[in-house]
Amino acid sequence: MAGDVDEKRNQRIQKECQMLSPFEELEWVADYLPEEGQSVVISRESGSLVCQPHVQCELRDGVDDAELYGRLMQMNVQLSEQSVFPLWVSAGIVFWGTLLIYGLLAISTSHWYLAPGLGFVALMVYQYWSRIRREAFFETVIQPHLERTIARRRVRPHALLAGISQHPELQTLHRELIRWIPEANHPERY
């Protein structure tokens, strides 16, 4: 229904604009601008003005800005890097632990289940340690920067979360943001 109204409005605008000079067209368009907070895209097609309502995609609210996207990518990489050290330590634990079990302790290979068991323990240590490091880095470095960016750009936190969820390359940051944005943190924005 709204599409029909917009189409009829556009047709009426095109008919009325065909008779006007460019300056008269601008004066005429100024009379038909939408309410405050709404946007209209005015373009010229076949010599006449075409007015179309412009609706910003709220799922990408704030993320369509190149500077913000670059900062979010940088934050995502920094969060991902927090898992590198625990990964290498866990791999070292598996390697040296397996060498210790089978080499120095002279346990036979009939006890093969000890190596996967050690690998499972190392994997759990890695998961826990990397999560703790990412959370600490997020709270101390990224969260204050993100709060300033949200306030400066006037982006709603949940709208930013929705926008980030549309970018699979920001997955690490998305996981931290899901834990971070409770309504208690930003009651004035709701």
Q: Are 39 and 135 in contact (CB under 8 A)?
A: no
SS3 155: coil
Task: Please state the φ and ψ torsions of residue 74, each to the nearest 5 degrees.
Answer: -65, -45
* Residue whose structure tokens are 């690490």: 172
Q: Please tell me the predicted confidence (pLDDT) of residue 87.
A: 94
Whether residue 156 contacts residue 176, with contact meaning beta carbons closer than 8 Å, is answered with no
Say how far apart CA 110 and CA 103 lie, in whole Å: 13
| Structure confidence at residue 35 (pLDDT) | 64
Asked whether the beta carbons of 29 and 44 are under 8 A apart, the reply is no
What's the confidence (pLDDT) of residue 92?
A: 94
Cα distance between residue 67 and residue 75, in whole Å: 12
- The pLDDT, as a whole number, for residue 56 is 58
| Average pLDDT per consecutive 10 residues, the chain (190 residues; last block may be shorter) | 65 61 68 65 72 59 73 91 93 91 81 88 93 93 87 81 86 87 51
